């Protein structure tokens, strides 16, 4: 077994174990393998082991990998997890299963416009900045309700839930309150906006995905633990 095989299996196993520990069905958690800055050969190797969900941060890189002859015919689901610029929306609409990091009305409006033109619906998550760092992307928790209300009114946007990215830390337990808060915010929005559509919580990365699963993550985004450190 290659290193990648071994690492992928370990992450899959640890994800399932964390789910069971929390009394959850392991099938309710999707592992998104974050393949940014990693070659198509690594994606192919992971896909051969049944890993079909991949996360990318750069629109051009995602498109290039999608069109790679080695990957083109595979039933892969591409997740766009990075901050999205308005002028890149037209290149990603129709090419990603889920947009994880939407954080403004102008971005939502552009996704609506381009999705309508393409005759499809784009599945989106709202990124929430719960650590309060000024430089980080994501909407403020206080703005989340207005943003969600706006998204729910757009016919070509399918709002599916929330995403967050805690500040980097040494101890995964430091992320736990952030994951608890994202889930609470989702529950509050679902009630106030009377929607059952907000089923997804995208939270947890290499350093803290097990804690995220314990707190209700339905999508974990794990990169370096599977593919090795990025240069």
Ligand X SMILES: *Cc1c(COP(=O)(O)O)cnc(C)c1O
Please give the residue ranges that form the binding site for ligand X (CB under 6 A). 34, 36, 57, 81-82, 165, 205-206, 221-225
CB of 206 to ligand X, least distance (A): 3
DSSP H stretches of helix in the chain:
3-21, 40-48, 59-66, 89-92, 105-118, 144-152, 176-192, 209-214, 224-227
Choose among 109, 134, 146: nearest CA to 124: 109
Would you say 178 or 225 has its CB closer to ligand X?
Answer: 225
CB of 13 to ligand X, least distance (A): 16
CA distance linking residue 160 with residue 201, whole number of Å: 9
Would you say 116 or 174 has its CB closer to ligand X?
Answer: 174
CB of 185 to ligand X, least distance (A): 18
CA distance linking residue 92 with residue 95, whole number of Å: 5
CB of 157 to ligand X, least distance (A): 20
CB of 210 to ligand X, least distance (A): 12
**SS3 state of residue 224:** helix
Q: Name beta bridge partners: 220.
A: 31
| Residue whose C-beta lies closest to ligand X | 223
Would you say 4 or 225 has its CB closer to ligand X?
Answer: 225
Centre a 10 Å sphere on the Cβ of residue 195 and count the other Cβ atoms it contains: 14
CA distance linking residue 38 with residue 28, whole number of Å: 27
- Phi-psi category of 110—alpha, beta or left, where left has phi over 0 and alpha has psi -120 to 50? alpha
CB of 20 to ligand X, least distance (A): 22
CA distance linking residue 147 with residue 155, whole number of Å: 15
Would you say 33 or 144 has its CB closer to ligand X?
Answer: 33
- And the tokens for 196? 């059952």
Would you say 120 or 171 has its CB closer to ligand X?
Answer: 171
Would you say 147 or 220 has its CB closer to ligand X?
Answer: 220
Residue with tokens 């719960």: 130
């Amino acid at each position: 077994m290659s290193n990648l095989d071994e690492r992928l299996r370990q992450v899959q196993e640890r994800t399932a174990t964390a789910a069971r520990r929390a009394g959850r069905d392991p099938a309710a958690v999707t592992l998104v393998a974050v393949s940014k800055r990693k070659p198509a050969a690594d994606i192919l190797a992971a896909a051969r082991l049944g890993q079909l969900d991949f996360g990318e941060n750069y629109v051009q890189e995602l498109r290039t990998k999608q069109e790679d002859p080695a990957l083109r015919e595979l039933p892969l689901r591409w997740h766009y997890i990075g901050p999205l610029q308005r002028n890149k929306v037209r290149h990603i609409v129709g090419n990603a299963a889920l947009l994880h990091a939407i954080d403004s009305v102008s971005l939502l409006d552009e996704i609506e416009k381009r999705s309508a033109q393409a005759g499809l619906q784009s599945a989106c998550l709202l990124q929430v900045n719960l650590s309060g760092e000024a430089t980080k992307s994501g909407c403020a928790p206080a703005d989340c309700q207005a943003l969600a209300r706006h998204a729910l009114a757009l016919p070509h946007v399918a709002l599916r839930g929330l995403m967050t990215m805690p500040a980097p830390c040494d101890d995964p337990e430091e992320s736990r309150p952030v994951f608890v808060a994202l889930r609470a915010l989702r529950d509050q929005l679902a009630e106030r906006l009377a929607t059952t559509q907000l089923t997804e919580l995208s939270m947890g990365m290499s350093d803290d995905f097990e804690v995220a699963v314990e707190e209700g993550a339905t999508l974990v985004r794990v990169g370096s633990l599977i593919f090795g450190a990025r240069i």
